[in-house]
Each structure stands twice: as structure tokens, then as C-alpha cells.
Amino acid sequence: MNEHPKKYINDMTRREIASYLTKRGHPPYRAGQICEWIYRKRAKSIEDMANLPQDLRDHLEKYFTVVRLREKLRLISRTDGTTKYLLRLPDRRTVESVYLPHPRGATFCISSQVGCAFECRICATGTMRLKRDLTPGEIVDQIRFLEEQIQSSVVTGKRNPAPGARAFSNVVLMGMGEPFANYDNVIKAIHLMIDEMGIGSRRITVSTCGIPKKIVKFADEPFEVGLAISLNSPFESRRKKLMPVAGKTPIKELMDAARLYFDKKGRMLTFEYVMVDGMNDRLRDAFALADLLRGLPAKLNLIAFNPFPGSRYVPPEESKIRKFQAVLESRGQKATLRKSKGSDILAGCGQLGARPRKRGHK
Ligand code: SF4
């Protein structure tokens, strides 16, 4: 719920703005001008929208505001340049957004909720309660914020993108929150990313802990967004230990929904497997995982658990992860070892927001 007394104008699509304006006697093309101000010129307020007539600006000012997230904390990894932001929302709550550079572009990892209700044990956000859903404008403005940071070279001081070039190649909804638990706002945010920010749908990925009914619904949306599913165990009982809420769903139901998504979209699926020592890193897990994924067009990412304060889990030794990977590959399942980026700055999901208050990371 938006606690701000005025509505965010950037929660609305161009069509919604046009409909609002025409009902009040303004020409619909003003909606295009407003979107130009929000997304291209990055206006911070309605008053900034200089080519709108003053009476329209006065009216909009009365009922709307432009939501812009502000930096509360910034941490830059010395090892890989990953930069993590804690961003302040208008109601003073905070969310995390992460810039992940890599040689051929960069990924923006953004949040969809403040906190999360899913309580996954492998994720620091899971230790926080759900505070609230982000609005579409709040989701999308994380991209504007990160892009501005990079274009102004605040992030790493490295070479900036050429003027006018995109500062990122991919956007993943993999930060705080379960995107499908905030379904309608996430869908609207994706439309805004595609229609107003010009981000190709194939450059967007939604990462979910796996809610089959929502995956099925998502397959009917009119865009081809990538889907990443946190699997973390091929066994119901272990998955439930690691993911007490999402793990209640039978794995078969989840796999059926994943297949349906592939069948409708033709996009390779991604499965994420966070490896925890003694929990899901046994060789029998690898055999069962290979069996589970057999015949499914899917990438599998193995990620060593990234410890966070308060967690009793530890990652397996690298040699154990390699053996696990070798078993998968011997069974025909390709698996990529993904490095935990920015581990020196608590860059795992929710680790900044959930950090103990007195640690003083800045
Ligand atoms: S992994 Fe995702 S769904 Fe699970 S607690 Fe963390 S943010 Fe929530």
C-alpha cells in the first residue's frame, strides 16, 4: 500500500495517464509529454515538466508526485565492482538494488517488495517480515537510479557507457521480495520497462521461489520475459527445510508449470541451486537433480551459499561443489558454477537491509 498521500504519476501507464487527462479536458498527447519527462528527462517533480501548461501542472501537483528513490547507503565491492545500494522510499522504508558489472555489459538486480513473506533460509530477506509491496513506479525507478549512477560514474570510476548508450544489458527481479507475490505491480512495472524505458523483454528476468499458479498465469502475459526458479533441492523434505513456504508446493507441480512456461514462450528456463553444506550438496542430490531436470530446456546455476549474519548455514567446499557439478554433467545436465558476486559487501539478497544495525558498513 502506498502510504504517500499523493499518488505516484509514474505508477500509471501512458494509456492510463491519457485517459485521466482526456476525462479532464486535456489532449491525450500530454501523456506522451509526461512520460518523456519521467523516463527520458528524469524529471524529479511535476513542476519540472516545463512544456505542460501551468494549469495542468497545478492540477497534477495537487494529486500526484513523481516517485524518485534516494540513496541511503552504497557499498562497492573491491573484488569485482559489484555495487549495492540501499535505497530510501518516500515512506522512509528501504530496498536494495544492485549493479553487477561483467565484461559484456552489466546487470541491474532490483527489488519487488520491502522484505518478504517467504522465509527462505538461504536468503537474508527471508529473515525480515514482509513490510509492503513496491508500486510499479518504485520498482521501475530503481533502474533509473542505477543508470544515473553509472552514467555519472559514481559507481566505479571506470569507463562510462558512451553518451546515449545503455548502462546495462539485463534487468533481473531478483532483489528483495517474491515478484509473484506482488504480481499485478510487477506486471505493470514490466510493461513500463518495455514500453517507456525501451528495455527488450528478453533482457528482463523474473526470479521466483516457485509459485506454480503464478507461473502459469505469467505464461499468458504478452511478453517473453525470462524465468528463473529457485529450486535448491530435488527432494520435497530438504526443499521445505530450505524454503519453508515455497517448499510446501509439490515439486512436480512446480516442474509442470515450468514446462508450460517454456512451451508457451520458447524461452530457456533457468534454475537456481544455492548449495548449502550438508543440506543439498550430497551426490544423491546431484543424481536426483539431473533426473528431475532431464528433458527440460533449462540452464542450471550452482551458487555457493553466501553466509549472512544470523544464519547457521555454510557453503560447501569448492571441491565438493565441483564433484556435484561433475555428477550432473555425467548425467547430461549442464551446470554453471556462479560466483557469489560482491560477497565482501553482503551483496546477497537482503543482506544489506537485514544487517545488524551496529555493524556500520559505510
Ligand atoms: S529467496 Fe526470494 S522468496 Fe525467498 S525469502 Fe528471499 S526474497 Fe523471499
Q: Is the CB of 116 under 6 A from ligand 1?
A: yes
Catalytic site includes residue 16: no
pLDDT the model gives residue 156: 52
Helix pair angle (318-330, 283-293), 10° resolution: 40
Probe ligand 1: pick from 211, 229, 349, 352, max atoms within 8 Å of CB?
349
Query: Annotated catalytic residue: which of 109, 116, 120, 349?
Result: 349
* 258 phi, psi to nearest 5 deg: -65, -45
pLDDT the model gives residue 161: 61
- Residue reference for cell 542450471: 300
Mark residue 177 as left, alpha or beta (left: phi above 0; alpha: psi -120 to 50; beta: remaining): left
Rounded to whole angstroms, the Cα distance separating 5 from 205 reads: 32
Name the residue among 295, 286, 302 with its Cα closest to residue 263. 295
Nearest CA to ligand 1 atom 7: 177
pLDDT the model gives residue 361: 28
- Each as own residue / partner, the long-range contacts of residues 307-310 (CB below 8 Å, 24 or more positions apart, any chain) are 308/124, 308/346, 308/348, 308/350, 308/351, 308/354, 308/355, 309/124, 309/355, 309/356, 309/359, 310/124, 310/127, 310/354, 310/356
Catalytic site includes residue 96: yes
Name the residue among 202, 198, 201, 204 with its Cα closest to residue 165. 198
Rounded to whole angstroms, the Cα distance separating 274 from 238 reads: 12
| The amino acid at 301 | N
Kindly state the DSSP code that residue 129 receives in the 8-state scheme: P
pLDDT the model gives residue 356: 43
Nearest atom of ligand 1 to the alpha carbon of 177: 7
Nearest atom of ligand 1 to the alpha carbon of 119: 5
Probe ligand 1: pick from 111, 123, 240, max atoms within 8 Å of CB?
123
Rounded to whole angstroms, the Cα distance separating 334 from 203 reads: 22
- Split the chain (362 residues) into runs of 10 and give each run's mean pLDDT: 76 98 97 98 97 97 98 92 95 96 90 97 93 98 95 61 73 97 98 97 97 98 97 98 97 98 96 98 98 96 94 96 98 90 64 47 26
pLDDT the model gives residue 168: 84
What domains can be seen in the chain, in order of their start residue? 8-65 (1.10.150.530), 70-359 (3.20.20.70)
Q: Classify 51 as helix, strand or coil.
A: coil
List the grid coordinates of 56: 495542468
